[in-house]
Amino acid sequence: MKIASVIVDVPTMQTDRAFDYSIPHAWQGKILPGMRVIVPFGPRKVQGFVIGIKDKSEAKKLKDLVRPMDLTPVLNEDLLTMADWLTKQTLCFKISALQVMLPAAMKAKYEKKIILNPVKRDFLDEEAASLFINKDEVSWKDAEEAGLLPLLQKEIKSGNLDVFYSVKSKGRKKTVQKFYPAVQREKMKEEIDALPANAEKQKAVLRYFISLNSNEGITTKEAADSAGASLAVLKSLADKGLLIKKQEEIYRNPFSHKTFQKTSPLPLTEEQEGAIAPILEAIEQKKHETFLLYGVTGSGKTEVYLQSIQQVYEQGKEAIVLVPEISLTPQMVNRFKGRFGNDVAVLHSGLSAGEKYDEWRKIQRKEVKVVVGARSAIFAPFENLGIIIIDEEHEASYKQEENPRYHARDVAIYRAKQYHCPVILGSATPSMETFARAQKGVYKQLTLSKRMNAGELPSVSIVDMREELRSGNRSMFSEELFEKLQDRLHKGEQTVLFLNRRGHSSFIMCRDCGYVAQCPQCDISLTYHRFSNSMKCHYCGYETGVPETCPECDSEHIRYFGTGTQKVEEELAKLLPEARVIRMDVDTTSRKGSHERLLDSFGEGQADILLGTQMIAKGLDFPNITLVGVLSADTMLHLPDFRSAEKTFQLLTQVSGRAGRHELPGEVVIQTYTPEHYSIELAGSQDYDAFYHKEMIMRKMGSYPPFYYLSLITISHEDLLKVVGAAEKITKFLQSRLSPQSIVLGPAASPIPRINNRYRYQCLIKYKREPELPSILKTVLEHSQQQKASEGLTISIDVNPYMMM
DNA sequence: AGCACGCCGACT
DNA sequence: GTCGGCGTGCTC
């Protein structure tokens, strides 16, 4: 007898292992690893993943599995292997590693129901019977809400009612009714004459079928369009045996309203030729290698991607292209669909769960060769991968901030090793980690230093807002920016105003000299805490009072910071009432498609100014934009995050790239209170290399990546004392187990010290080599799970964190 | 995570 | 003597 090893959908420490089930005869040989199954688990039924088939089991008694949920495996062998790796790498539950690889629509939907035993209907209590008048099941939840549980439970006990657990996949396949011809054309012609004279519509339908050159079926909509026939007409033809009704599965097509202009490979520049050659060679030799494609904005990285994919495509292999969520714009999709047509699937958060499911199935059925998508597309179920491309490699959105806390770049490299294929990491401003690896030769660096159409980089001017204040300008627009804004309005050219919302009110700064309170031990900005009216460091726990006057210049203009897009919009309305402004932020783009609509109308020239946050930093490519204004370049700089300088530099460089991409020359105005900060200065001169060198020195001094790896442990509980106690215990344990070269910081309160009434403490480990760390961290998890005193204690571990909160 | 089992206090 | 509170431990 065959036995299936199953990982059940119960994400807890105690159930984080395989459970064995015997396979009923009917399913023998049909249950394969990688399939989803429904299994009994205790008194209920749950979804599970088959991870193996075997002949023997250690377990004393086995239950039969109920049934498979799939006809073919939804996870292939390589993905199963990778799930194991992911579990160890990120210290997540096995089930989480499996679930993350599938679209959300394939998650299980559980329902507990009370069903009527039909024979016992007459035995029911009157009130209970009234619930089952024209149905034989009631949802448990509904019964509970109606306060009918006690009554029904009595009936359950006496056997008149049964409890039933249903497990379903959340997503549904979309189907459509189609009618096919059931007889030959000749026969149809005869039938037309045989039909009664008043059966006009039926005759029309038959004539339409005869006119078709294939045996294709038609939908009711097609019938209406071509023959003016309704469903009733088709049905009566079906009743006569002339047509056959079929329920057919179709894909929801999010791009149905679009046609794609077919494009062909563009001639490459010499630089591009040089960059693509080693990639093509790796593809030819079926060799795994990671490339850093380091190319300034507009240097033609995408064409290099496209032609690399072309090569893979010609070998009959598949490609995954990752793009950050916010730049997964229609423009981007067009470029890939234009080149590879219907062989492209697109996966991003703008699609509904059903649409994502459909795109995923296209991949699974090998109906496409190329996937363009956000982070999770890295798990696309291809089996013959030829290349993985990660565009804008430095983007933080490639790191998942919930379990499993993976980084798409790491997963990409793992998968590429499995398939002996290359990875391309593309960026104009690579992350420190990636660039350092390229410098060391771990990754192969390919450089594109010239803009394609030899376009000039925009001229950047940095405005010192402290000066503005001194000269009496208290507005959020500097003289220079305001003048240029007016100028563009007169000329009918467009402006993009960029505002960073992050870092809102969280740091204290002197408006006169730009002083920002820093932690003396960590070189990290202190965070202002309104509640306790104090300044804190979230890395080491240092705390100090809020200064009344600036410690540097004694000014009294020291205060906490932050402005929102709405406020800017109001001020614009006051200062430039004739300007037409489009505001783009989370509030105005929450509805589906609104992002695209706003951008389209800006592109069509329906507004003079586009005002927005993060989301307008990328992909925006309109010829009429000649001015980019960054209202406050430093908001991000003072976040309690060692990557803040890097992020600031990347963002400013990115935003600057929006101006003057075509004939008209572009200008950029960056407003800041810290013009001397290297990230701002060097973003102004667009000098990545200088920034890299400066930032590496800072990272080295602070023992941060890429010199050290990080792992962040966050402990939370309702009771503050328990959190502190547990955090201290964990810190001590780590210190005792880790090598002396490793640094354990904390415990200190998390940047957000309380969420949902739970206190949060964290502990940061910095290390260079700690091969035992995963198992040590696993011990931490298991240990704290066992301790009875620790009920309610949550410990989350983030290996290589991106968000330090 | 659920859910049953089981052992104690408040009631018919 | 029973109902139901939630602490404890298991789920192939």
pLDDT of residue A505: 43
Interface residues 783-802 of A with strand C (CB < 7 Å): 788
Query: Cα separation of A773 and A467, whole Å?
Result: 50
Q: Is the CB of A10 under 7 A from strand B?
A: yes
pLDDT of residue A94: 97
Using the CB atoms, write b or e for A678-699: b if 16+ within 10 Å: bbbbbbbebbbeebbebbbebb
> DSSP for A357-399?
HHHHHHHHTT--SEEEESGGGGG---SSEEEEEETTTT-GGGB
Q: Is the CB of A93 under 7 A from strand C?
A: no
pLDDT at A560 over 70: no
Coil, helix or strand at residue A72: coil
A13-CA/C10-C1' distance, Å: 13
Query: Cα separation of A775 and A441, whole Å?
Result: 30
Sorting pLDDT into bands at 50, 70 and 90, what band is A524? low
Domain assignment present for A155: yes
Mean pLDDT on A27-55 = 95
Q: Is the CB of A175 under 7 A from strand B?
A: no
pLDDT at A594 over 80: no
In whole numbers, what is the pLDDT of chain A averaged over residues? 87
For residue range A739-777, list pLDDT tens digits in order: 999 999 979 988 777 766 678 899 999 999 999 999 999
CATH number for the domain harbouring residue A763: 3.30.70.260
* Least trusted range by pLDDT, from A45-59, A321-335, A390-404, A610-624: A610-624
Are A496 and A519 part of one and the same domain? no
* Least trusted range by pLDDT, from A16-30, A218-232, A395-409, A620-634: A218-232
Sorting pLDDT into bands at 50, 70 and 90, what band is A427? very high
Sorting pLDDT into bands at 50, 70 and 90, what band is A226? confident
CA distances from A41 to A9, A113, A167, A220, A440 (A): 10, 16, 12, 44, 51
pTM of the model: 0.86
CB A321 within 8 A of CB A327: no
For residue A516, the 8-state DSSP code is B
A158-CA/B9-C1' distance, Å: 28
Q: Is the CB of A107 under 7 A from strand B?
A: no
Are A465 and A512 part of one and the same domain? no
Mean pLDDT on A379-401 = 96
For residue range A251-291, list pLDDT tens digits in order: 777 666 667 778 888 899 999 999 999 999 999 999 999 99
A155-CA/C2-C1' distance, Å: 19
Are A274 and A162 part of one and the same domain? no
CA atoms within 13 A on the CB side of A312: 33
Sorting pLDDT into bands at 50, 70 and 90, what band is A587? low
Q: Tell me the residue range of the domain where A517 lies.
A: 505-559
Mean pLDDT on A400-411 = 96
Interface residues 599-628 of A with strand B (CB < 7 Å): none
> DSSP for A296-360?
-TTS-HHHHHHHHHHHHHHTT-EEEEE--GGG--HHHHHHHHHHHGGGEEEE-TTS-HHHHHHHH
Are A481 and A516 part of one and the same domain? no
Q: Which nucleotides of C are covered by protein (CB under 7 A)?
A: 4, 8, 10-12
Domain assignment present for A216: no
A156-CA/B6-C1' distance, Å: 21
Query: Cα separation of A14 and A40, whole Å?
Result: 17
pLDDT of residue A503: 38
Domain assignment present for A723: yes
Scanning every strand, the nucleotide with its C1' closest to A61's CA turns out to be C12
Q: Is the CB of A781 under 7 A from strand C?
A: no
pLDDT at A572 over 80: yes
Percent of chain A with pLDDT over 70: 92
Scanning every strand, the nucleotide with its C1' closest to A12's CA turns out to be B1
Q: Is the CB of A805 under 7 A from strand C?
A: no
Mean pLDDT on A703-728 = 91
User: Which residue is closest to B2 in terms of CA–C1' distance?
Assistant: A44
Domain boundary among A543, A559, A575: A559
Query: Cα separation of A115 and A109, whole Å?
Result: 18
Domain assignment present for A263: no
Q: Is the CB of A132 under 7 A from strand C?
A: no
Mean pLDDT on A312-317 = 96
For residue A640, the 8-state DSSP code is S
pLDDT of residue A328: 67
Question: Which residue has 């509640």 as its token pair?
Answer: A531
The rounded Cα A14 to chain-centroid distance in angstroms is 29
pLDDT of residue A644: 92
Higher pLDDT, A245 or A355: A355
Coil, helix or strand at residue A743: strand
For residue range A639-689, list pLDDT tens digits in order: 778 999 999 999 999 888 777 666 777 899 999 999 999 999 999 988 999
Which stretch of DSSP H or E encloses residue A52?
strand A44-54
Are A672 and A628 part of one and the same domain? yes
User: Which residue is closest to C11 in terms of CA–C1' distance?
Assistant: A42
Higher pLDDT, A557 or A679: A679
Mean pLDDT on A527-552 = 75
Using the CB atoms, write b or e for A663-674: b if 16+ within 10 Å: ebebbbbbbbbb
pLDDT of residue A90: 95
Are A744 and A629 part of one and the same domain? no
Q: Which nucleotides of B are covered by protein (CB under 7 A)?
A: 1-4
- Cα torsion A775, A79, A48, A781 to 10°: value is 10
pLDDT of residue A589: 67
Q: Is the CB of A11 under 7 A from strand B?
A: yes
Are A595 and A725 part of one and the same domain? no
A43-CA/C8-C1' distance, Å: 17
Mean pLDDT on A727-741 = 93
**Strand-pair category, A709-717 with A794-799:** antiparallel
Sorting pLDDT into bands at 50, 70 and 90, what band is A487? very high
Interface residues 37-56 of A with strand C (CB < 7 Å): 39-42
Are A669 and A592 part of one and the same domain? yes
**Strand-pair category, A667-672 with A625-630:** parallel
* Least trusted range by pLDDT, from A95-99, A186-190, A450-454, A631-635: A450-454
Coil, helix or strand at residue A224: helix
**Strand-pair category, A370-373 with A318-322:** parallel
Let me know if A591 is exposed, middle or buried by CB neighbors in 10 A (0-12, 13-18, 19+).
Answer: exposed
pLDDT at A373 over 60: yes
Higher pLDDT, A525 or A24: A24
For residue A673, the 8-state DSSP code is S
Scanning every strand, the nucleotide with its C1' closest to A6's CA turns out to be C12
Are A339 and A388 part of one and the same domain? yes
Could you tell me how many residues make up chain A? 805
CATH number for the domain harbouring residue A16: 3.40.1440.60
Domain assignment present for A83: yes
pLDDT of residue A504: 42
Question: Which residue has 């693509």 as its token pair?
Answer: A276
Domain boundary among A169, A191, A207: A169
Mean pLDDT on A536-563 = 76
Domain boundary among A108, A130, A151: A108
pLDDT at A502 over 60: no
Coil, helix or strand at residue A756: coil
Are A739 and A671 part of one and the same domain? no
Helix axes A688-702, A432-440, angle to 10 degrees: 100
Domain assignment present for A467: yes
| CA-closest candidate to residue A1, choices A71, A53, A50, A67 | A53
A421 labeled binding residue: no
A140-CA/B7-C1' distance, Å: 28
Highest mean pLDDT among A25-39, A245-259, A525-539: A25-39
Domain assignment present for A233: no
State the total domains in chain A. Answer: 6
pLDDT of residue A539: 59
Contacts of A512 (CB under 8 A, 6+ apart): A466, A469, A470, A550, A553, A555, A557
For residue range A100-159, list pLDDT tens digits in order: 999 999 999 999 998 887 777 778 777 778 888 888 888 888 888 777 787 888 888 778
Mean pLDDT on A18-35 = 95
For residue range A161-206, list pLDDT tens digits in order: 888 899 998 877 777 888 888 878 788 778 777 777 788 888 888 7
pLDDT at A326 over 90: no
CATH number for the domain harbouring residue A409: 3.40.50.300
Sorting pLDDT into bands at 50, 70 and 90, what band is A551? confident
Domain assignment present for A374: yes
Are A430 and A516 part of one and the same domain? no
Query: Cα separation of A378 and A389, whole Å?
Result: 10
Are A464 and A404 part of one and the same domain? no
pLDDT of residue A562: 44
Contacts of A132 (CB under 8 A, 6+ apart): A116, A121, A124, A138
For residue A237, the 8-state DSSP code is H
Sorting pLDDT into bands at 50, 70 and 90, what band is A590? low
Scanning every strand, the nucleotide with its C1' closest to A5's CA turns out to be C12
Query: What order do you get walking across the sheet with A243-250 strand by strand?
Result: A218-219, A174-181, A243-250
A92 labeled binding residue: no
